Amino acid sequence: MAEMDCEPTSKEGEGQGKPIVVLLMGAPGSGKSTFCEHVIRSSTRPWVRVCQDTIGNGKAGTKSQCLKSATSVLEDGKSVFIDRCNLDREQRAEFVKLGSPQVEMHAVVLDLPAQLCISRSVKRTGHEGNLQGGKAAAVVNRMLQKKELPKLSEGFHRITFCQNDSDVQAALNTYSALSHLDTLPPGCFGQKNPDAKIQLGIMKFLKKVEVPVNVGPDANFPKHPLSTQITKEKDSCCKQPEDISSSSGNAKEIKGGENIVVHAVDGTVSSKDIPTLAFPSISTADFQFNHEKAADIILEKVEEFVNKVENARLVLVDLSHGSKILSLVRAKAAQRNIDSNKFFTFVGDITRLYSKGGLRCNAIANAANWRLKPGGGGANAAIFSAAGPELEVETKKRAGSLIPGKALVVPLPSTSPLFSREGVTHVIHVLGPNMNPQRPNCLDNDYVKGSKVLREAYTSLFEGFASIINTQGNLLEGSSENLRSELSVSQDHFKGNHIKNVPNHDQKIKRVGVYESERSKKCKGFHDEHESDCTESKDGKENLNNEKIGRSMTKTWGSWAQSLYHIAMHPEKHKDNLIEISDDVVVLNDLYPKAQRHLLVLARSEGLDCLADVSREHLQLLRTMHAVGLKWAEKFLCEDELLVFRLGYHSAPSMRQLHLHVISQDFNSKHLKNKKHWNSFNSAFFRDSVDVIEEITNHGRATIKDEDSLLSMELRCHRCRSAHPNMPRLKSHISNCQASFPPSLLQNDRLVLAPSKSGSEP
């Protein structure tokens, strides 16, 4: 038969997810047909196998016949396996065109050792395509010599590489577990292909298979890895996913693991490899929080996060396919139309998401107890166990306890199994409200207070994840084509949460997304002097600095980002580089100025890292900083009356210690290089000093603007507001633009002008 059909088990009229085309790739003998048969027999999703060896009324046919048959299958709403060798790009091209916004295109690459493929081919009898016996060895050799591994850029949504029996079994379980509505995360899994985006954690690169020659039919090779297994599982191949994984003999550790299923809101997930946080539902298990209320709060806080943070995603994880909280969240997320590229649910063990399900997460959340101790049950016990003693040691360094509604970010050492096996670089402990009378601090069904605490818990959790992204999430730019060796980011290279060094000196690693004008190089000349200060984390001092209690509690600052703090606290060490020192402030030139004149006025107050830390008690200090900045602007205006200045703060600075920017509006600087540089001074992300003072006077706090959406805005002239496609075009325009500044900047003394121009618009 040309097709092997597995009839759908769903009721008539039941909704279905997108059909999937799985293009199988592998040499003869790699197990393509066996793979199809196993999945079709086990899955509740309707699959059809299209095999070129049998498509011509049981005999070999043509590629065009396969394409026609596959198209017909997809029109019926079924998923299809393309059972051909497909070893080079040209052979795959026509089939890849079957993919569309309504059809997902997958590839499963059975990239098994050549010897194994040849052994199976020469020993088999009754093969559909009659490729068996002595002639098989020569055919396999010839085909493997032309092998060209697939890339996402060809048009695939997902590529799974299988290089051994374990990989094949994991892929079998994954596809067998798919129901009608399920989908799988995008990207490359197993063996990474060259055009896959870089994922954080440990990178694994392609290994070329050596092709043996002149292997005869009597060579002694292993048997087919699936042949005996399928026989043994004949009566159990339709088990539920948990049952299959339990049969592995290690049910507690990998329950649901190898059979992870993604439930995306609209059936799609972004193909980008982006920083990912996996988190369990907080307080709905042991703490017995109402599931409906919890689901609403989860989606409320998720929505806030995904609207603010562009390059990140959140994944809600539970062990059970029948999870009530996952079901509620999926349904409510669909109603809210939350971007499934940024948020989806996942069934599996949160400590085995990558090794058993192919989902790489940079951080995982732990529903901790207030003592931050191992033990108990659920996620807390599992995560402490999986991470090893290293997690408990690192946690103790940072805090002894946690209050409800708060989160604690803990970087994992490279020696932790969670780091080395799963690629998890951080665990974020978070404590929610308790509605269980058998547990401490029960709220006695007070859902007003409980909901408030749960919102705070998710806010703290997501802010903690954002702080990880700020310090390490954007370290790498580009694709793995730029890399020639393995990147292993270990805790040995962390100071705080900042990656100070990476062992591969040949790798070109750029820190992207730094909108702040101050980078580590800014303090060139200061760095050597305060290097010993920055390494005080050995004594716990830096950890104390990073674990401030307050609105910026979850913000972590790498050693380079603490340069301004050390200058403000110890100006005597840097007096040769400062232009003013007083009891309240120090002033220095920005080492990488974004305009002709660009100064920083640093507060010399302990505990003021950024605007989020400022309250009414700091008003006098803010006024002093403004007065000092104004004095310097007026001094520069005396030297060049054509200059125009703004004084202001960044909403979320990349360097620790509250500092005021005094910047001329010509923006004539070679250091103004990208969109984030520009928008950090020419969007609402830049808070004018006069507005900050007024806001804190009236409301006690400054409004913190949406960082990611503002910094990614299109490039617009700060005078005429015309849009420009890139920085060179914008810089060329602003050098000649004579338009008046927008009315909003001409009000409330937001612009500082020369006295001769103060009566008219610049």
Q: Please list the active-site residues.
A: 659
* DSSP H helices in 309-388: 324-336, 353-357, 378-387
- Nearest CA to 210 out of 118, 285, 307, 282 is that of 118
Which residue is it, tokens 């000349």? 525
For 647, the token pair is 């004084």
294 near 454, Cβ under 8 Å? yes
Q: How far apart are CA 604 and CA 581, in angstroms?
A: 10
620 near 605, Cβ under 8 Å? no
Number of residues written out for the chain = 762
Which amino acid makes up residue 512?
A: V
Q: How far apart are CA 760 and CA 762, in angstroms?
A: 6
Which amino acid makes up residue 525?
A: G
Q: Which residues of 211-225 are buried (b: 16+ CB within 10 A; e: fewer)?
A: beeebeeeeebeebb
User: Residue 411's beta-bridge partner residues?
Assistant: 426
Other CB atoms within 10 A of residue 440 CB = 9
Tell me the C-alpha to C-alpha distance, in Å, between residue 652 and each of 687, 707, 712: 10, 7, 14
Residues with Cβ within 8 Å of residue 363, at least 6 apart in sequence: 275, 276, 277, 278, 424, 425, 426, 427, 428, 464, 465, 468
Q: Which residues of 54-84 are buried (b: 16+ CB within 10 A; e: fewer)?
A: bbeeeeebeeeebbebbeebbeeebbbbbbb
650 near 688, Cβ under 8 Å? no
Other CB atoms within 10 A of residue 231 CB = 9
